[in-house]
Amino acid sequence: IGEIRRHLRDNNSVRVSRSLRDLAYKAMQAKERLINQNAKEPTVDEIAKEIGMKKEDVVLALEAIVEPMSLYEPVYS
Amino acid sequence: MKPINSMRLSFEGKSVNEAFARTAVAAFVTQLDPTIEELSDIRTAVSEAVTNCIVHGYRDRIGTVYITANILTDNRITIRIRDKGCGIADIEKAMEPMFTTAPNEERAGLGFAVMQSLMDKVRVTSKEGRGTTVVLTRRISCKEA
Amino acid sequence: MKPINSMRLSFEGKSVNEAFARTAVAAFVTQLDPTIEELSDIRTAVSEAVTNCIVHGYRDRIGTVYITANILTDNRITIRIRDKGCGIADIEKAMEPMFTTAPNEERAGLGFAVMQSLMDKVRVTSKEGRGTTVVLTRRISCKEA
Ligand SMILES: Nc1ncnc2c1ncn2[C@@H]1O[C@H](COP(=O)(O)OP(=O)(O)O)[C@@H](O)[C@H]1O
Ligand SMILES: Nc1ncnc2c1ncn2[C@@H]1O[C@H](COP(=O)(O)OP(=O)(O)O)[C@@H](O)[C@H]1O
Ligand SMILES: [Mg+2]
Ligand SMILES: [Mg+2]
């Protein structure tokens, strides 16, 4: 358990809001890279592998960025 | 068709929960290994449906929003979004692009149109005074080997 | 204390849903803007509790796992994870580090110890033949200006 804690300590006290934004940015860059490489849309799993993250983190991160679809995003807040 | 996996979700109809709802649905859909674009389509459609529950269904109070998601054998996902709010008198009219009962919002009247353009199927049932149910269906592309 | 926000979640006790459950809880907790470490602690604890429902509670069948999460006024979150499985005969013993009824698993017997080390409070109630409920509580640190 101490080991788990120590492992996590690197990221200590960085707020999720910021870190997810960074991760989302990395994911979108990886997506572009993979599209150029393979000429097709990568899956979430492939993107996660490309940047060495868990796919559940990529899914969480997607919330942090304004997507190209934002044309349609509702504006309630 | 019996689903191969399913989940249920309910939460208070507050706008802070919209992000939670679409991310939770996305997390469930992720087991089919979608592309970011597919995931983003689903999130947007879920958002529109949840927003409708909050803004229209429970227009003058905070009520509970219910979501059920099923994964079917042919890589299809169905998502049912339900409120127990005021209901819709004329569904056909409500679904017309640009029709809205809340004309002061920005980009009003396009919620159903957005859902229809992003999903394979959108089914709406409603009873005045009882509530509204929207069922979204979308097939996730299979990976080629 | 009345929660300021809450959600409910239920899903089939299949291991593919473990990632879904912890991600959904994480998506809910995110509204408090926790640190990465706090979020990761919560995800790990939820994982352990959900795994226990699947592996022990529903040891010989697939049952439904129920999660309720509440956000309280003082930046505290409580997460209740429940199964309707076999229950625990001696809770005190079950919570001892290294105690396990499934000794063939890796890192056996440490689930409750992990939950206790990562959460502020872990409360377990159970009835044999009726099921088990684990309530995890954790305070999220406030942001400095
Ligand atoms: N869940 C709901 N409960 C009650 N009325 C609804 C619901 N969803 C949609 N409606 C009705 O349908 C209309 C059209 O919805 P939509 O296409 O999303 O546009 P908008 O939300 O911008 O008005 C709404 O203005 C409202 O009258
Ligand atoms: N949800 C549950 N239903 C029934 N028994 C449980 C449940 N959770 C825990 N237990 C019992 O408590 C023991 C200890 O749990 P834990 O500390 O997580 O270790 P492990 O899961 O590795 O055995 C389990 O071996 C099991 O006997
Ligand atoms: Mg709308
Ligand atoms: Mg365990």
Pocket mutation for ligand 1, best pick of B98, B101, B118 (most atoms within 8 Å of C-beta): B101
Q: Which residues of B touch C9 (CB under 8 A)?
A: 7-9, 24
Residues of A (17-36) whose Cβ lies below 8 Å from B: 27-28, 31
**Using CA positions, which residue lies closest to atom 4 of ligand 1?**
B57
Q: Where are the domains of chain A?
A: 15-66
CB-CB under 8 Å, C24 with B23: yes
Note the pLDDT of residue C69. Answer: 98
pLDDT-based confidence at residue A8 (cuts at 50, 70, 90): low
What is the dihedral angle through the alpha carbons of A57, A63, A69, A75, rounded to the nearest 10 degrees? Answer: 170
The string of pLDDT tens digits covering residues C7-29 is 999 999 999 999 999 999 999 99
Note the pLDDT of residue C2. Answer: 84
- Which has more confidence, C110 or C142? C110
Q: Does domain A15-66 have CATH number 1.20.120.1200?
A: no
Q: Each residue of C42-77: b (16+ CB within 10 Å) or e?
A: bbbbbbbbbbbbbbbbbeeeebbbbbbbbbbeeebb
The string of pLDDT tens digits covering residues B97-144 is 999 998 777 768 999 999 999 999 999 999 999 999 999 999 999 765
Note the pLDDT of residue A72. Answer: 41
Q: What's the B51 CA to ligand 3 centre distance in angstroms?
A: 6
What is the percent of chain C with per-residue pLDDT over 90, rounded to a whole number? Answer: 90
Taking the Cβ of residue A60 and every Cβ of chain C, the question of whether any pair is shorter than 8 Å is answered with: yes
Q: ipTM, 2 decimals?
A: 0.89
- Angle between helices B16-29 and B36-52 in degrees, nearest 10: 140
The string of pLDDT tens digits covering residues A31-67 is 999 999 999 999 999 999 999 999 999 999 988 875 5
Which of A1, A9, A16 minimises the CB distance to C39?
A: A16
Is residue B52 annotated as part of the catalytic site, yes or no? Answer: yes
Whether the pLDDT of residue C106 is over 90: the answer is no
Written as six digits, the tokens of C69 are 């999460």
Does the beta carbon of C111 lie inside 6 Å of ligand 2?
yes
Torsion angles phi and psi, residue B61, rounded to 5? -160, 175
Whether the pLDDT of residue B29 is over 80: the answer is yes
Average pLDDT over residues C83-104: 94
In this structure, are residues C88 and C96 in contact, taking their beta carbons and an 8 Å threshold? no
Taking the Cβ of residue C40 and every Cβ of chain A, the question of whether any pair is shorter than 8 Å is answered with: yes
Note the pLDDT of residue A17. Answer: 87
Note the pLDDT of residue C108. Answer: 84
Note the pLDDT of residue B143. Answer: 67
User: Ligand nearest C94 Cα, by number?
Assistant: 2
What is chain B's length?
145
Whether the pLDDT of residue A1 is over 80: the answer is no
Note the pLDDT of residue C59. Answer: 93
Q: Which helix (H) or strand (E) holds B5?
A: strand B5-12
Taking the Cβ of residue A61 and every Cβ of chain B, the question of whether any pair is shorter than 8 Å is answered with: no
Which atom of ligand 1 is nearest the CA belonging to B112?
17
In this structure, are residues C91 and C101 in contact, taking their beta carbons and an 8 Å threshold? no
Q: Which residues of A touch C37 (CB under 8 A)?
A: 8-9, 11-13
- CATH code: domain B5-139 is 3.30.565.10
CB-CB under 8 Å, A72 with B18: no
Whether the pLDDT of residue A6 is over 70: the answer is no
> How far away is chain A from the Cα of B112, in angstroms, using its nearest Cα?
11
